Structure 1
Amino acid sequence: MTNGHHVVVLGAGYTGMFSAVRLAHRTRRIDVKITLVNPSSRFVERLRMHQIAAGQRLADHQIPDLLAGTGVTFVQGTATAIDPETRRITVDGSTSLGYDTLVYALGSSTDTGKVPGADDHAFTLNSPEIADRFAARLTEVAAAGGTVTVCGAGLTGIEAATEIAESRTGLRVTLISPDEPGGMMGAKARAHLYRALDRLGITLETHARVTKVLPEGVELADGRIVRSDACLWTAGVKVSPLAADAGIATDDRGLILVDATLRSMSHPEIHAIGDAAAVRLAWGQLHGSCQSGLPTAQYTADTIARLIRGKTVKPFRFGYYHQPVSLGRRDAVIQFTRTDFTPRRQCLTGRGAVMYKEMVNGSPLTTYRLSKRMNVTTIISKGGRATHRPAA
């Protein structure tokens, strides 16, 4: 690679922002231009979206402010096409950006397309604007003593249901899922979760599959209708079709297939990170989360800096270490995990867990600010011996 290198980062979520800021610091003494492309100028704290949905006001962090002093150029717009052969990106259907290296960090969003009516009658946490509209609807529903349904009892659904139930007195909350809430936790952490759900008066509909979302309820596979004055959909995710449409090799979900250095299997000048990448390690495949996303961003920024300097790179290594879940503002549970995300015996609950979770939620912004002047690591665990072996 030569000097005058142009790196374009698509997406300014947790991973895209970190990769841009860290790469700027790592290449500050060489001729590298970095451009960050994102549809909105607001940095979205996805870890706190359930708080917005419950009606809480969060700080408005602007991307240009977070980039100040880094030398990174911010382009506000939506990437609408990629031409890997000419190495050009089309933004908003007209503007064209050339690149030498592309960091693909477009992330994922809630998928409302698989269940009839979900797209028309359910809210999501895909953006602060949608979450704000849901919060406004909750105010109306709570005033009438109505019911809200949260569909999906993964971590997002659990956090949303508990936040809503705690902050909206007089509102009935029903959590609907085909699986048991906290099924990925150990017995002690799961017991604490169920006590919190019971304390907050949340009704559980487990082993229940939603087949249709209606204007005033959700229909289950057994034919029952669960009344719902407002429905929040948190079940299932999808990724942008941009990579697949461009002919970049992807899996059946649209995630970019990457090698051991997180470079596209079909186009090695493209690096995929976070939810956009199908990252497989010896112990299994990463799932979308900030916990694994930030390490992929850190690794990729370091990898690109090394490649530009003509140096070799080592394979990406990572292991999970915790599963933090907020249960409203006054309770939380932290399940500590093995490398492959299976639960250990240890967990943290109560006030200590609340403080721990708040530290986790606030750590990305602190990391960005510190990364302007030093190399800050987000890789707590490299997975031990399991990640020394090549993926199967």
Structure 2
Amino acid sequence: MTDILVLGGGYTGVTAAIRAARMTRKTGGRVTLVNASPRFTERLRLHQTAAGERLKDHALIDVLAGSGVELVLGRVTAIDPEQRQVRLDGAPGGEPHALRYDKLVYALGTVTDATVPGVAEHAHVFDDYTSGLRLARHLDTLTHGTIVVAGGGLTGVEAATELAEARPHLRVVLLTRGRPGSMMGTAARAYLDRALERLGVEVRAGADITKVLPGGVELGDGELIHSDATLWTTGTAGLPLAAQAGLTVDARGRIVVDQELRSVSHPDVYAIGDAAAVSQKFGVLHGTCQGGIPMALAGADSLAATLRGGTPTPFRFGYVHQPVSLGRKDAVIQFTRPDDTPRRWYLKGRAAIAYKETVSSSPITLFKLLKHDLVPVRVFALTAGLS
């Protein structure tokens, strides 16, 4: 048997585990998925959780049922690529222990970059379901007050509009160094600006936050902005696990991989999703579900091809769109070139809502189809940007 260990039970980890189990069944693959929580979290919808919406709960054991993937609960504390072992702290009440592997798939994603003073101590983040729920419960205690959302990228925009719509009694301030949605085209960005204004979100562009305080944030010019809750969405970084294990990582702590998604320093380790630094002709991919699931499929297929003694197909990817929710009743979709620069075309309003709910719908259906090899992977890859 070949022991294949997948770390991380998010979108990419579950996709890779189910696909790898299917593709290596005849060659003796034994796939184990390790995750700290028994719950499958739809990280793309954490802004809805923070706004107070109750989303359907999915247990990982149910998600994986019938796939041939074994689930082990525990938090990864260390990776030893020389001994091919992963150390876990164990499930609640369990003892720390180690799991060995022949092939490792690293899909632990990234966490919020908390290098700005005070972020770790005083800011809310969207690292997992618990963090989104914690913000929602805190906001439930406020009858009035101010929410500061730091970061004008797509996550910050979605969070600010969702919170403003769901909690109109609270003031929402969006702080960003540049213009919100700056990566979008002129028309789509103008539509986004109007939505922010309609929902009453106060935008402060050119804001450089130097410190997060218990009751606010401090800007570079010394200005203090009061905040009853600060949400930090300005950037992410890889967990220190990979660097500590001696794997080659980039400046953000992501594992540097080759075109077959194998670590350039340790070929028995595959990295996928946000945790991987993947180079394409136009540059290094930035973390999105748009690229993560195709990467998971390609990584599993690459691993399976290697076990069969074949030659893996190089991973090639191009972006297709930038879908952005603007609350539950509005959205804007910017279509892009493969390098993620904007094209002329975009969708808005009801058409954008329908489009986004289709492309960002729950992956549970995808997982069910993958178990039975019913996903036309090539067609899926083309529509997601993988060529």
In which range does the TM-score fall when normalised by the shorter chain? over 0.9
Q: Per-residue displacement from partner, 1:14-58 (whole Å, max 9, x unpaired)?
A: 111100011112223332100000100101101100000001111
Moved more, 298-307 or 132-141: 132-141
CA displacement 1:333-379 (0-9 Å, x = unmatched): 00000000000000000011111111222252221111010152342
Q: Is the contact between residue 111 and residue 237 of structure 2 (CA under 8 Å) also seen in structure 1?
A: yes
Q: Residue deviations 1:292-327, cap 9 Å, x none?
A: 111110001111111111111221111000000000
**1:272: which partner in 2?**
271
Task: For residue 252 of structure 1, report the CA deviation from its aligned partner.
Answer: 2.1
Determine the structure 2 residue equivalent to 1:117.
118
Determine whether 1:78 maps to 2:84. Answer: no
Rounded Cα–Cα distance in structure 1 between residues aligned with 2:52 and 2:271: 34
383 and 49 in structure 1: CA distance in 2 versus 1, 3 angstrom threshold: closer
Residues 111-160 of structure 1 deviation map (CA, whole Å, 9 limit, x = unaligned) = 22x2222222111111222211211221222x1x2111101111111000
1:97 paired with 2:62, answer no
Q: Contact 1:77–1:91 (CA<8 Å) still a contact in 2?
A: yes
Mapped to 1, the partners of 2:87 and 2:324 lie a distance apart of: 38
Q: Distance in 2 between matches of 1:307 and 1:214?
A: 51
Q: Residue 247 of structure 2 corresponds to which residue in structure 1?
A: 248
| 2:330 paired residue number | 331
Give the Cα–Cα distance (whole angstroms) in 1 for the partners of residues 39 and 385 of structure 2: 34
CA contact (8 A) 1:79 1:91 kept: yes
Query: What is the CA–CA distance in structure 2 between the aligned matches of 1:150 and 1:252, rounded to whole Å?
Result: 25
Partner residue in 1 for 2:136 = 135
Question: Residue 29 of structure 2 corresponds to which residue in structure 1?
Answer: 32
Q: What are structure 1's unaligned runs of at least 5 residues?
A: 388-392
Percent sequence identity over aligned pairs? 54
* Residue identity opposite 2:266 in structure 1: H
Q: TM-score, normalised by structure 1?
A: 0.94
Q: Could you list the per-position Cα deviations for residues 210-269 of structure 1 after superposition, in whole angstroms to 9, with x for gaps in the alignment? A: 111122211111111111111111111111111110111112221111111111111111
1:22–1:375: 8 Å Cα contact kept in structure 2? Answer: no
Q: Does 1:366 align with 2:350?
A: no
- Taking the aligned partners of 1:193 and 1:365, their CA distance within structure 2 comes to 30
| Cα distance between partner residues in 2 of 1:321 and 1:315 | 19
Query: Separation in 2 of the partners of 1:264 and 1:120?
Result: 33
Q: Are 2:48 and 1:57 equivalent residues in the alignment? A: no
Question: Does the 8 Å CA contact 2:42/2:362 hold for their aligned counterparts?
Answer: no
The answer as to whether partners of 1:48 and 1:361 remain within 8 angstroms in 2 is no
Distance 2:195 2:305 in 1: 48
> Counterpart of 1:264 in 2: which secondary structure?
coil
User: Are 2:10 and 1:13 aligned?
Assistant: yes
| Alpha-carbon distance between aligned partners in 2 of 1:356 and 1:161, rounded to the nearest angstrom | 21
Which is further off, 357-366 or 341-350? Answer: 357-366
Structure 2 residue 164 is matched with structure 1 residue 162: no
SS at match of 1:165: helix
Task: Give me the whole-angstrom Cα distance separating, in 2, the residues matched to 1:23 and 1:126.
Answer: 26
1:381 is displaced (CA, Å) by 5.5
Further displaced range: 160-169 or 369-378: 369-378
Matching of residues 348-387 of structure 1 within 5 Å: 348-376=347-375, 377=377, 378-380=380-382
**Which range moves more in the overlay, 213-222 or 357-366?**
357-366
Structure 1 Cα separation of the partners of residues 255 and 214 of structure 2 = 36
Which digits, 9 at most, give the CA deviation of each residue in 1:84-108, with x for residues without a partner? 1111111117311111110011100
Residue matched to 2:64: 67
In 1: Cα distance, 2:278 partner to 2:47 partner:
27
Q: Is the 8 A contact 1:317 1:382 kept in 2?
A: no
Amino acid at match of 1:118: V
Provide the secondary structure at the position in 2 that maps to 1:115.
Answer: coil
Residues in 2 aligned to 1:168 and 1:363: alpha-carbon distance in whole angstroms? 25
Deviation larger for 319-328 or 357-366: 357-366
Distance 1:254 1:210, change over 3 A: same
Contact 1:261-1:313 within 8 A present in 2 as well: yes
Is the 1:248–1:266 contact (alpha carbons within 8 Å) kept by the matching residues of 2?
Answer: yes
Give SS of 2:260's match: coil
1:157-203 CA-to-partner distances (Å, cap 9, x unmatched) read: 10000000001121110000111101100011001100100000110
Which residue type is aligned with residue 298 of structure 2?
Y
2:48 aligned with 1:48: no
Q: Indicate conservation of the 8 Å contact 1:43/1:62, yes or no.
A: yes
2:58 counterpart SS class:
coil
Q: Which moved more, 1:255-264 or 1:195-204?
A: 255-264
Distance in 1 separating the partners of 2:360 and 2:103? 30
Change (3 A) 1:382 1:68: closer
Moved over 6 A (4+): none
> In the superposition, relative to structure 1, how do residues 259 and 375 fare at CA in structure 2: closer, same or farther (>3 Å)?
farther
